[in-house]
Structure 1
Amino acid sequence: MYLKFVLGVLLLALAGSAIAADQCPLLRSRQADPDIATRIAAVACDEHVEWYRPFIDSDGHLLSSTVAEAESRNLRSGAGPVWLRVAAYWRDASLLRQMGGYQGANECGFASASGGFPAQACRSFVVDQPWSAAFISWTMQRAGVPGFLSSASHFDYVRAARKNPQGSPYLFLDPQTAVPAMGDMLCYVRTGSVHGYSGLAEIIDGGAKGLKMHCDIVVAANPNGDSRAYLVGGNVQQAVTMRVLNLNASGRFWNLPMRSQGEVPCSPDAPAACDFNRQDWAVLLKLKPQAQLASMPPVRMLPPPRTSTAQPACCVRCVLGAVPEIPRCPVDGTPVVPTTPEPDSE
């Protein structure tokens, strides 16, 4: 009887520590914290909770997924559908103008949850265009990170950390040796070839203008001594998803799952090769200390997320039979083209 009691207490303790390891439910309320790293984590955490806390465990398995980017289901707080929240990442990070050449981008500037035009066009844009970099840019702006370069491409702010370390709020470090902390970003390259830290540095130093990448935000590292890092990224399995990675006793990533050239692809025939954490992890963007960030030009902090209900006065790509009817905008004969590199593929 005593043995059963002891085992029960141990199981409850283990369960409690596992629940407490995710700091997001507590962190999300600290978005006005004086510490910039805390604000970054709090904003990312708040979104993760809003998306019903999907996560990938340290074995690379997706264990929870409730909603996806295109759905009309409301966020956890009831603050509008998830697809409209993705549109807000683009709009509030001031990236829609840069994406003006892509169908549906202009309509996302005034899309609403009421349906009709321009909701359909904006919703298509949300599905068609990778939004992970928009999520990062929105998070950094809302957290008021000085000197951050917002972009539809992760490569732009990764390159800025490498080429302009004085002007960037981040330092370009090797993820295999650096110690991750709250507010940092861990990034991988999304191409067939494996680059790693040295390969990515060589590409940037060689003057490359673009490279498909993805970055996650470190929201906690070794909380309560559990030897894990918790990261949140947008458009990870079509949601704002948490990723869990192991740390060693020194606080560095332990056995970081790395892609290798010519490896066996994931399939029903090779389930051991299936791991959402196995990527070409190429850089840890290390957030500079608070004192250094304070000397950089301030960035306007975004207000809390909102759902726009304003109706446009005219449309660019009008939908036949749209309700309500909206007149076509004047045409000046100048074609609309993207002003930034194509967003990172997901």
Structure 2
Amino acid sequence: MGPEVTRGLWLGQRRILPVHRGPYTSPVDILAAGARKEIVYLEEYGQPVRASKHRPANRSYKQSPRDHINNLADYLQVAPYLVPSDASLTRHTIRHPDLQPSNIFVNEDLEITGLIDWQYSTIRPLFLQCGIPANFQSADGDIPSLLQEPRLPDGFDRLSEADQHCERELFRSRWLHYCYLTATAKLNPPHQAALTGALGVLRRRLCHQAAVPWDGDNVTLKADLIQLTINWDRLVRSEDANAAACPIAYSQDEVNECLQLNTAQVALDEQKRLSREVLGVGSEGWVAAERYDNVKACEEVLKIDELSVADASKESIL
């Protein structure tokens, strides 16, 4: 499996680090590689920084890389337990890392004729490769669900034109998400099994958060580790009834503080994502020219709603 060519393992001075980037002989090696890389980098080059993302939930003072190193060390202790015992979930898989319409070429018969932007592809176990492409994720998140077909809200006809546009965009994203999941269940059962495996989302999130270049965020990885300790019995029972106790632990004060910060961060991230989904714009604000006027109208509705909420909050404080 591997070797890894993802940018996170090569960004900045990381490119000169004497760390192993594959090929790997086991899933555990892949789970650990990103964390080991980041520990070596932070030990050599890490400096206290303020979190680079606009997250008011983070403390205003600079964050220490030592805290993240400690989180990564905790992650490495639990990494071996993240590998599923089901061999079908650890089989070697290659997948396009950025599957979106602009990277797919089709002919007039809608047959795929080519793919581009696949240079960061790597071979990894299925339980780490599985996922829902960004263009098929809905405003409700990427948690797989086949239970309810999306519908427009009751009273849709009575909404203003701008509100109807927003609801249509929300419905569109939910419908794409639903169709992708139903098609996956029918045409690609192994992928569906990996998507819905026990704690699959948490396993993938831990691996990802441990490997991303540190930007001052000492909360997200630790919050996921705390969730793992909370769900430890569920994890080990799904793999080995005689598995050992969780090798990491946190005090109740640590848990409360971290989860409170993480909840605030997640709420802000979700608000941003929902706004982009409703508007139908990318993370950098790009929108197709023919949709510009409609998006601007929807943006004005969101702006008015947010300002009214802010004014109400201000009045309640006063």
- Same fold, judged at TM 0.5 (above): no
Between Structure 1 and Structure 2, the one with more strand by share is 1
Query: TM-score, normalization: structure 2?
Result: 0.24
Between Structure 1 and Structure 2, the one with more helix by share is 2
Query: TM-score, normalization: structure 1?
Result: 0.23
